[in-house]
Amino acid sequence: MPSDPGDRHRWVVRRVTCDAVGELLPGIVDGGEQADRRIQRHIETCLRCQAELAQYRKLLRVLHHLRTDVLEPAPGVLAGILANLEEAGEQGAMRSLLSGRRAAYLGGVAVATAAAGAAGAIVLVSRGRRRMKLAG
């Protein structure tokens, strides 16, 4: 049977056999794939394919019901998750604290550099004025 779904469908339509329909039933059972009219006709007239389709329907029903079956986790699973989250939270807080300190440090350096630059500029300006006075 061709692997491409389009080719597969054409192949099935050309040759509607139980085996070919059986290939499509897992997709048809929940409406995920639409059955061609010829395939529908085959299923309506074929007890074997009807039985197979009914088996798929039962299977899906039971699988769906498994959703409500919840296993009981071993003792310690919840505590383990919460401890892991706690640890991650502490690490996150530590990282933000460190990054805050780093930002404060870098900010301090920037302020100090700016202050030093401003002081240097004032000195240069005042020297320039003094020279101008002496020259005048």
Partner 1 sequence: MPPDLTGLVVAARAGDRLAFDELVEATYADMYTLAYRLTGDEEDARDVLQDAYLRAYRGLPRFRGDAQFTTWMYRITANCAATHVGKRARAQHDQLDDETAIADVQPSHDPELRAAAAFDRECVASAVQQLPPRLRAVIVLRDIYDLPHDAIAAELGISEAAAKVRLHRARRRLRERLFPLRADQADNEDSDAHAV
66 or 134: whose CB is closer to partner 1?
66
Shortest gap between Cβ of 103 and partner 1 (angstroms)?
A: 21
Give the residue with the Cβ less far from partner 1, 69 or 132. Answer: 69
Comparing CB distances to partner 1, the nearer of 62 and 132 is 62
Q: Which two tokens stand for residue 101?
A: 């300190």
Looking at the Cβ atoms of 30 and 128, the one nearer to partner 1 is 30
* Smallest gap from residue 81 Cβ to partner 1 (A): 5
CB–CB of 2/14 below 8 Å?
Answer: no
Q: Residue 16 has what DSSP assignment? A: -
- Specify the residue for token string 């099935």: 12
- 24 exposure class (CB count in 10 Å sphere: 0-12, 13-18, 19+): buried
- Shortest separation between residue 94's beta carbon and partner 1, angstroms: 15
Chain contacts with partner 1 (rule: CB under 8 A): 5, 15-19, 26-27, 29, 32, 38, 41-42, 45-46, 48-49, 51-52, 55-56, 58-60, 62-67, 69-74, 77-78, 80-82, 84-85, 88-89
Least distance to partner 1, CB of residue 4, Å: 10
SS (H, E, C) 30-76: CCCCCCCHHHHHHHHHCHHHHHHHHHHHHHHHHHHHHHHCCCCCCCC
